[in-house]
Amino acid sequence: MCQLLGMNCNTPTDVRFSFSGFAQRGGRTGDHSDGWGIAFFEGRGVRHFVDHERAVDSPVAELIRRYPIKSSNVIAHIRKATQGVVSLQNCHPFVRELWGRYWVFAHNGDLKDFQPHLHRSFHPVGDTDSERAFCWLMQELSKSHAQLPSVAELTLTLRELSAGIARHGTFNFLLSNGLALWAHASTDLHYIERRHPFAAAHLSDEDLSVDFARETQATDRVAVIVTAPLTRDECWQAFARHELKVFVDGSALTL
């Protein structure tokens, strides 16, 4: 199984604190050592880093831990290969373009007998069930809407599509188009919404703490979504089974 990390904010925010703890699970505090990846939206653009080295050793992960990339939507993934060989094309997150927007997707879980008919414009490059599921989601979104619909409409469509895929196995995923971040849980997914008044937090996987009150403005809102809670002194919420949530500007929307 793999691990997921997502961040959605109302102000471009530095993900280094969360990524630092998360990356420890890629070979040190966890055995997710078959590659990793992270994508940051900056406006409509995406910075996309993937590596088949362990996240804890990777020079590219080291760059991310040091270089303060500020982003409003981030998706990261560390991989424990269950389907597909260990190679760059199988590293999450995956990126595709639809309606003139980049879409970024990462998955945790296993899908059995999921061989959808991919008859349109999205085809996997690697050989994972995850990329296949992403291509099918993109295909079905493009069939359901002629152009980019509202976040609310997209959420309704994604709820239906996710339920269809989740019948094939464990389908925890994160998806973003830079405007919103969708998170779906089959099994393990947790989130936290950090907002004023900010407190201090201490990572579970590394001896590192941060006082968010010193790093933030009173109006900042940051949602972090992760497979297993990253800090030991904050109150993380577990997703319900088969729940799809959408985060915009650092808050979960009620739809």
What is the contact mask toward a second copy in residues 81 to 120, using x (rule: CB under 8 A)?
Answer: ------xxxxx---xxx-xxxx-----------------x
22 is a contact residue toward a second copy (CB under 8 A): no
**Rule CB under 8 A: which of 118-137 touch a second copy?**
120-126
Q: CA 140, CA 133: separation in Å to the nearest integer?
A: 11
Return the number of the residue (49 or 173) whose C-beta is nearest a second copy. 49
Rounded (10°) CA dihedral 73, 100, 77, 181: 40
Contacts of 114 (CB under 8 A, 6+ apart): 129, 132, 133, 165, 168, 169
Selection from 29, 8, 24 nearest residue 65 by Cα:
24
**Rule CB under 8 A: which of 57-76 touch a second copy?**
59-60, 63, 66-67
**Rule CB under 8 A: which of 208-237 touch a second copy?**
none
Selection from 189, 137, 135 nearest residue 163 by Cα:
137
Neighbours of 228 (CB within 10 A): 15
Number of residues that bind a second copy (CB under 8 A): 35
Return the number of the residue (71 or 231) whose C-beta is nearest a second copy. 71
Which 3 state secondary structure label does DSSP give 229? coil
Interface stretch with a second copy, choices 36-44, 107-115, 219-227, 240-248 (CB under 8 A): 36-44
Question: Annotated catalytic, 135?
Answer: no
Residues forming the site for a second copy (CB under 8 A) = 42-51, 59-60, 63, 66-67, 87-91, 95-97, 99-102, 120-126, 142
